[in-house]
Chain A
Amino acid sequence: MPDLLPFLISGLGVGAVYALSGVGLVVLYRSSGVLNFAFGALGAVAAYVAWSALDHEWPLVLAVLAAVATSVAISLAYGRLLAPYLAEREPTVRSIGTLGLALVVLGLTEWFWGEQPRRLVLPTDSGAIEFADVRLTYTRVLGLVTAVSMMAAVGLLLARTRIGLAMRALADQRGLSAILGIRVLQVDTAAWVISGAFAGVCGLLLGNIVRLQATVLTFLVIPAFAAAIIGRLSSLPVTVAAGLGVGMLEAVAVLAPGFSPFRTATPFLIALLAIVSWRDVSRKA
């Protein structure tokens, strides 16, 4: 029985970013009722913008800011210009709308930056902590820390702040909330901005940890969804735990003879299991 521990630890790196993406997805869902399929694509374009900025010798801070600003801008543009047209439709339709956005952003990213192999190198790559025969670069540790702290921060935002309350009200009953005087536009903006910012940060981390390639990054939204679905689209701690779990399972799956060449199926299988087991809540999803 080969040693599982190195793979579990290594899976924590990617799992942390799945967890963070899951939190970003749940935030938007709880504040607008939309499942954002474009999360991965926005992350991809942010990662490429950061790569281009670093390639042009920009300082890291400016590159990261540019990257996150890009994803926020696209997210905001969609949220304010296109999403309102779908605001009165069922959640399914609104979510598929974001799939359209994902495909457009993916296409533009691939067309603009092309197919040549690239690597997004961040300064946190150079240091690492050694644990059970595996080295976790500081980037992955950063991902883990960010996931947990964001989970706490977003939880606080939604539960304890006025804008959090407004977001939840809007997601529940949009028309009624508007009548009650909740400033719909302002709250919507906040929700899409937060989601865009999450997407940008996750894109940077995944672009570094996984691969700087638009299609791969866009479809990493699927494992994030698996995490969000297991968290029943409401519980942030469970989402984070699920994200870490999916990452670790996918890493360990490399040791399963016969299954290993197909292990990208792991998040799908987990999501499927979750949907079947929690049918009442996941019907919404």
Chain B
Amino acid sequence: MNIKLHSFIAATALLASGAAMAQGKPVCGLNNGKAASGEPIALGAVVGKTGPDDFSASALASQAYFKCVNANGGINGRPVELTIVDDQWNPEVAAQAAAKLVKDRKVLAMVGSSSFVECGVNAKLYAQEDVMVIAGVGVPRECFFAKNYAPVNAGPRVSATVVAMYAAQTYKAKKMVCVIPNIPSLGNWACDGAKDWGKANGVDVDVIAIDPGSPDATSTMLQAAAKKPDAIILNVPKGIMVPMLAAAEQQGLAKKIHFVSSTPAYNFDVPKTIGAAWNGNFDIHLEFMPVESAGADNLNWKATMDAYGGKTDPRDSFAQAGYLAARIATEALLKMDPKKIDRAGVSAALRGVKGFKSDILCRPFYVGDGARHNANSSGPIAQVSGNGFKQVSQGCLMAADPELSDLRGQEKKLGL
């Protein structure tokens, strides 16, 4: 009787704490409820906020997490000060932003950056000044081929490769067409993962580079369909993807060809906008576990956003990325001696990150001291279902992109 009561109370307590976590008590940093009051630790983030799209959700989520950390003991007593700068999608402004953060503000690291233009412009500065960047989101090739830049997301090349692998697996597709905008460092790179994987696996993947400003999506769809593919991979921003799907629907292609997409299509406005023809008919690779998944860390992310984020801060996959970046940085900083936190030490600590686990990620994250970083190279597949999405893959698929072979070697050495 006593034992039964005891375990009942224990079970209730566990349930209650789990429920408390789900209900909005975020767990972060030292988690001791004490406000940090020591000398601030300066971190920075460069985001593309004003322009073709708003990427700032990543840094906002990082900021929410750091606010939580500061309210819970900080970094061994020291609060984190994250300065976010908008690069307006302009490379010149991005260079100035990085110079301001790195040279004037003397940040110890960059956390939660998400910019389309800054990787190419600032990679050299970061390497020269030995500033590590744990970016939320990177897009062009330079973000994944820099010594000091480690994005938490998978990137468009990996994303297209994974979704191509899924199409081959699920729909037995032997011929595919990959559509990519003709933007430097994207047009000649991001569809080639699928192409190279295909070459090694008996799948023929054709690449069509489109003019992103073109008003005529129908011709592109006709051109893709003329190659008689089993599947069409869309690797384009969602603003361009929607008219393409509309054109495909109008041309009756939705029923003839399997349409799949890399991760930009994973946005909660998309299912309603593209319409009923794509219900259960459009598969998308996700860089992280779905936003509504019930894993403990995912729920903690939501709780952190609710408690410390702004009401209008998006709760999307960019925010998941920013949260992870901030958590990675926090855990690395907590291992350091609080009196001796300087840039060189922080960079070394961040490079030493390996085996960082989260249920938002498919595999543990690592940074390492290699010449490039692309630790997130897997993800689940979701399908448009009704006005939302549902996961259709059994767990995650790992990209078998030949270009990742150097990183696979590194992962083996790190024991991952």
Contact = CB atoms under 8 A, between A and B. Distances in A.
Interface of A: 2-3, 6-7, 10-11, 13-14, 115-119, 121, 125, 128, 134-135, 137, 206, 210-211, 213, 216, 220, 223, 247, 250-252, 254-255, 260-264
B213 interface: yes
A216 B215 contact: yes
A156 B356 CA distance: 74
B125 interface: no
Contacts of B53: 115
B215 A14 contact: yes
Contacts of A119: 242-243, 246, 273-275
Interface stretch (B85-93, B219-227, B366-374, B380-388): B219-227
B216 A14 contact: yes
A264 to B, nearest CB: 4
A211 B223 contact: no
Contacts of B52: 115
Nearest to B223: A254
17 contacts: A3-B226, A6-B222, A7-B219, A115-B54, A116-B269, A118-B269, A119-B243, A135-B252, A210-B216, A211-B217, A211-B239, A216-B213, A250-B214, A251-B216, A254-B222, A261-B182, A262-B211
Nearest to B182: A261
A242 B240 CA distance: 27
B210 interface: yes
Contacts of B222: 6-7, 10, 134, 254
B31 interface: no
B284 to A, nearest CB: 14
Identify the interface centre among B209, B239, B269: most chain A CB within 10 Å of its CB: B239
A6 B223 CA distance: 10
Contacts of A220: 215
B210 A117 contact: no
Contacts of B240: 211
Contacts of A252: 219
Identify the interface centre among A118, A220, A262, A263: most chain B CB within 10 Å of its CB: A263
A137 B209 CA distance: 26
Interface residues of B, number: 36
Contacts of B208: 260
B130 to A, nearest CB: 36
B26 interface: no
A60 to B, nearest CB: 17
Interface string B171-189: 0000000000010000100
B251 interface: yes
Contacts, number: 99
A107 B241 CA distance: 23
B293 to A, nearest CB: 23
A257 to B, nearest CB: 11
Contacts of A263: 211, 214, 216
Closest 8 CB pairs of A and B: A261-B182, A210-B215, A254-B219, A211-B243, A251-B219, A117-B242, A264-B213, A261-B209
B251 A261 contact: no
A119 B276 CA distance: 13
Given A263-B211, A264-B211, A11 B219 contact: yes
A11 to B, nearest CB: 7
B391 to A, nearest CB: 22
B348 to A, nearest CB: 40
A11 B213 contact: no
A121 B247 CA distance: 12
B270 interface: yes
Contacts of A135: 250-252
Contact of B275 (A13, A121, A211, A223): A121
Contact of A254 (B215, B220, B242): B220
A211 B52 CA distance: 15
Contacts of A3: 226
A255 B250 contact: no
A10 B273 contact: no
A260 B215 contact: no
B181 to A, nearest CB: 8
A116 B54 CA distance: 10
Nearest to B209: A261
Contacts of A250: 214-216, 219
B56 to A, nearest CB: 12
B238 interface: yes
Nearest to A220: B215
Contacts of A11: 216, 219
Given A10-B219, A117-B239, A264 B269 contact: no
Contact of B218 (A10, A115, A213, A260): A10
Contacts of B216: 10-11, 14, 210, 247, 250-251, 254, 263
A125 B208 CA distance: 27
A137 to B, nearest CB: 5
Given A3-B226, A7-B223, 12 more contacts: A10-B222, A115-B239, A118-B269, A121-B275, A211-B215, A247-B216, A254-B220, A261-B210, A261-B211, A263-B216, A264-B211, A264-B215
Nearest to A259: B211
Contact of B243 (A2, A6, A210, A264): A210
A218 B187 CA distance: 26
Contacts of B217: 210-211
Nearest to B243: A211
A220 B53 CA distance: 20
A116 B240 CA distance: 11
Interface string B35-72: 00000000000000000111000000000000000000
A117 B218 contact: no
A159 B171 CA distance: 61
A2 B240 CA distance: 25
Contacts of A2: 226
A135 B248 CA distance: 10
Contacts of A125: 250
